[in-house]
Structure 1
């Protein structure tokens, strides 16, 4: 499950970990929610770490997000995206 909210200066996406459903669903521990905040110039990914009691945060540029998106659909190798 996920939610999308539009704030004044950011779009906030929250990914909620749910238990698999159905008769053959595996049981596994639930992970903390992942919160993704997108701004004009950056993306912030946050998740609470229950082991440390701290919020883990990754900040990346929009270009890095585009590269991540492309990388998810490419085979192993080195790549450079052409910017226009």
Structure 2
């Protein structure tokens, strides 16, 4: 399950872990904040002591998107 909310300066996507009961422990929700110039991915740490945060530039996000569909190897995108 996921939700999408539009805030003033960001679109917020929340991914909710939904495993069938008893199959595995559930993970904390993943929150993705999409700004004009970056994407921030957040998830509560397992003990609830803090939040892990990853910040990606739009270029890094594009490379990640492309990498999901490529075979193993080293790649460099040509400059625009």
Q: With structure 2 as the length reference, what TM-score do the two structures score?
A: 0.91
Partner of 1:20: helix, strand, or coil? coil
- The reply on whether 1:77 has 2:73 as its aligned counterpart is yes
1:3 alignment partner, SS class = strand
In structure 2, what is the Cα distance between the partners aligned to 1:54 and 1:5? 23
TM-score by length of 1: 0.87
**Among residues 13, 24, 36, which one is paired with 2:32 in the alignment?**
36
Please provide the CA RMSD for this pair.
Answer: 1.6
Question: For 1:17, what is the secondary structure of its paired residue?
Answer: coil
- Where does the alignment leave 5 or more consecutive residues of structure 1 unmatched? none
Residues in 1 aligned to 2:10 and 2:79: alpha-carbon distance in whole angstroms: 24
